[in-house]
Structure 1
Amino acid sequence: MRAIVVQSFGARPELADMPEPEPGPGEVQVALDAAGVNPFDLKLADGMLAKTLPTDFPMILGVDGAGKVAKVGDGVTKFAVGDRVVGKFLGRPAGHGSWAQYSTAPADSLVPIPEEITFTAAAALPIAGLTAQDLVDAAGIKPNQTVLIVGATGGVGSFLVQLANIAGAKVIATAREDAADQMARLGADETIDYTIVRGDDPNFNDPDPSLRVDSRVVDAVRFTHPDGIDVLFDLVSGPKAFAEHATLVKRGGHAYSTVWAADDLALREHDITGGNFESKGGPTELARLLARVASGDVVVPIEATVPLEAGPLALGGDGARGKTVFAI
């Protein structure tokens, strides 16, 4: 079968022929139709979990996947051949992921796909959608609270804007100016253009005149919300920028970083809960999210659908606006 693999941690992803996996007891083999692409995938490929998770090489990449059950292992009663399923394809050992024509997973880790949802949309949900849903649940957003989402146009951010809006929040999204309409359609009440160009700021002296940098978010939010905000979801910033954004949060509020940029002690000193966040969402939470998509409450923001064979060339880009999905 065809798959996207790395031969070692840090190696360049490449297309390769790999043996078709067979399901073990309690597992199913899935003929994958679509696989989601997340920043987490390349972090795994670079060895982020090398010390905690054993890995087989060549390492088949990809965590999110959707397709039809092709084979069932001993003891499986939850699914039958032909059932449409979606879930996370990350086990012990790692290296048997979803960027392939076939993969296996424990039957209990997968969820049926409602008929209203395509494989492509389903494959975009597990990591990004669940992270967004778990963040909203953790913050306990109440109606009319003010929520700032830094990095709102990416996969997680696009879901967060919608879910925070559904929870009744007034959503402030950071995005480039040309993405403001997209953010409004997803439910943002305000959009802040976080970028500047050479000449707009006398302190901006980067040698690349086309380079834009994060700026003005704190001043803009403080101007329109002088009493502060209730919740910060920062999906992209490093420690310094996260700390600056966290100064906008009221005492008793919440601030979360999904890229491990938060200083938990500093947040507690300012009576702010949250900190570095890792989604723990599983099949139950994924089924809840799928129901929201099937009912039309949540839109799956697909930016690009790329054939698996072209996948290695599509990886590593910046400035995503929604999800990229591999068509298998």
Structure 2
Amino acid sequence: MRAIVVRQFAGPIETAEMPTPEPAPNAVQVRMEAAGVNPFDLRIADGFLEGAVPHDFPLILGVDGAGTVSATGAEVTHFDIGDRVVGRFLAPPVGHGSFAEYAVLPENAAIVRIPAPVPTVAAAALPTAGMTAQDLVDAAKIQPGHKVLIVGATGGVGSFLVQLANIAGGHVIATARAADADRMARLGAAETVDHGLAPVADAVRRSHPDGIDVLFDLVSTPEALADLSGLVRTGGAVYSTIGAADEQALRQRDLTGGNIESRGGAAELARLLHRVADGDVVIPVQATVPLSQASSVIGAGGARGKTVLVI
């Protein structure tokens, strides 16, 4: 089968022929139709999880993916051949990911059936970014009327986060270039701040001199995040998805939150999918790219929504 691999950490990303994986007794084999691209894919390729979990090489990249169940292990009870499914294909040993024509996953992992109204390509873009956004909103306990600043709002996680924070009742302030302001408004942002015109902190202080309640920062360095956290009222919350938060400093200012990584499983993924099926959440697919062109989009910056590989 065709797959996108690296042969060593930080090695070149290439297309290779790999053996088709067979499911273990408690696992399903999925004929992949689409795979969502995330910044985490490049981090895995570069060795972010080295020493934490075992890896197999050549390492097949890809975490998010969707397709049709093509075979099941003898002990599988929750899935049948022909089911359309979406999941997070990240289970030890790392290296058996979704950027391939076939992938396997234990049935008790983060894998669920796709509701009929949701296209397979769209579903493939949902798991990591959508569940990260849902985890952030749940952790912050947003209340109606809370002022919520989202820095990095135009990317995959940010596009989901704008929607979910708005659904929770937040007054969403999204950082976005002028070209993205209308898209952010359609997703639920009450305001946008053009980070290319002036420092975000200065712009938000001018429009909200009494401060904000929640800061979700998906992109800033520790120094930039420390400056932005000064916008948050005492008792508010600050979250970083890239490990930039100084949690001790936040506690000293009576702020909650800190660094967060998504821990969502099948239940959380199913919850999001039903929101999509009901029309409450839009999956922001920006581009679809053939599997053969994966190396051109893995790790690419400037995302405006999600990129999906079509397999």
Normalising to structure 1: TM-score of the pair? 0.94
Residue 39 (structure 2) aligns with: 39
Residue 57 (structure 1) aligns with: 57
Counterpart among 235, 242, 255 of residue 218 in structure 2: 235
Task: Give the conservation status (yes or no) of the 8 Å contact 2:41–2:298.
Answer: no
The gaps in structure 1 that reach 5 residues or longer are 197-214
Question: How far is 1:304 from its partner?
Answer: 0.4
Distance 2:90 2:74 in 1: 20
Greater shift after overlay, 312-321 or 154-163?
Answer: 312-321
Question: How far is 1:319 from its partner?
Answer: 1.0
Are 2:155 and 1:154 aligned? yes
Question: How far is 1:139 from its partner?
Answer: 0.3
Question: How far is 1:315 from its partner?
Answer: 2.4
3-state SS of the aligned residue for 1:262?
A: coil
Distance 1:168 1:267 in 2: 24
3-state SS of the aligned residue for 1:108?
A: coil
Distance 1:12 1:171 in 2: 40
Please tell me the residue identity of whatever aligns with 1:47. G
The gaps in structure 2 that reach 5 residues or longer are none
Distance 1:313 1:116 in 2: 30
Distance 1:313 1:279 in 2: 26
Residue 189 (structure 2) aligns with: 188
Please tell me the residue identity of whatever aligns with 2:100. A
Distance 2:58 2:193 in 1: 43
Residue 17 (structure 1) aligns with: 17
Residue 313 (structure 1) aligns with: 296
Distance 2:138 2:296 in 1: 36
Residue 101 (structure 2) aligns with: 101
Question: How far is 1:118 from its partner?
Answer: 0.8
Question: How far is 1:314 from its partner?
Answer: 2.4
3-state SS of the aligned residue for 1:309?
A: helix
Question: How far is 1:316 from its partner?
Answer: 2.5
Residue 122 (structure 1) aligns with: 123
Residue 80 (structure 1) aligns with: 80
Distance 2:296 2:302 in 1: 16
Distance 2:148 2:284 in 1: 20
Please tell me the residue identity of whatever aligns with 1:127. T
Distance 1:66 1:309 in 2: 17
Identical-residue share of aligned pairs (%): 63
3-state SS of the aligned residue for 1:171?
A: strand
Distance 1:317 1:236 in 2: 14
Please tell me the residue identity of whatever aligns with 2:211. G
Counterpart among 271, 278, 297 of residue 261 in structure 2: 278
Distance 1:193 1:317 in 2: 21
Task: Give the conservation status (yes or no) of the 8 Å contact 2:41–2:299.
Answer: no
Question: How far is 1:74 from its partner?
Answer: 1.5
Task: Give the conservation status (yes or no) of the 8 Å contact 2:39–2:298.
Answer: no
Residue 139 (structure 1) aligns with: 140
Distance 1:316 1:108 in 2: 29
Distance 1:173 1:319 in 2: 16
Please tell me the residue identity of whatever aligns with 1:37. V
Deviation sequence 1:304-327 (CA, Å, 0-9, x none):
000101111222221110000000
Residue 259 (structure 1) aligns with: 242
> What is the 5 A alignment of 1:297-308?
297-308=280-291
| Equivalent residues, number | 310
Distance 1:188 1:269 in 2: 30
Question: How far is 1:249 from its partner?
Answer: 0.4
Distance 1:165 1:8 in 2: 42
Distance 1:260 1:97 in 2: 24
Please tell me the residue identity of whatever aligns with 1:51. G
Distance 2:299 2:126 in 1: 19
Please tell me the residue identity of whatever aligns with 1:29. Q
Please tell me the residue identity of whatever aligns with 1:32. M
Deviation sequence 1:48-91 (CA, Å, 0-9, x none):
01010110000000000100000000210111100011111011
Please tell me the residue identity of whatever aligns with 2:25. P
Please tell me the residue identity of whatever aligns with 2:286. E
Please tell me the residue identity of whatever aligns with 1:249. V
Distance 1:98 1:317 in 2: 18
Distance 2:90 2:172 in 1: 33
Task: Give the conservation status (yes or no) of the 8 Å contact 2:156–2:284.
Answer: yes
Deviation sequence 1:250-272 (CA, Å, 0-9, x none):
00000000000000000000000
Question: How far is 1:108 from its partner?
Answer: 1.9
Distance 1:108 1:53 in 2: 19
3-state SS of the aligned residue for 2:108?
A: helix
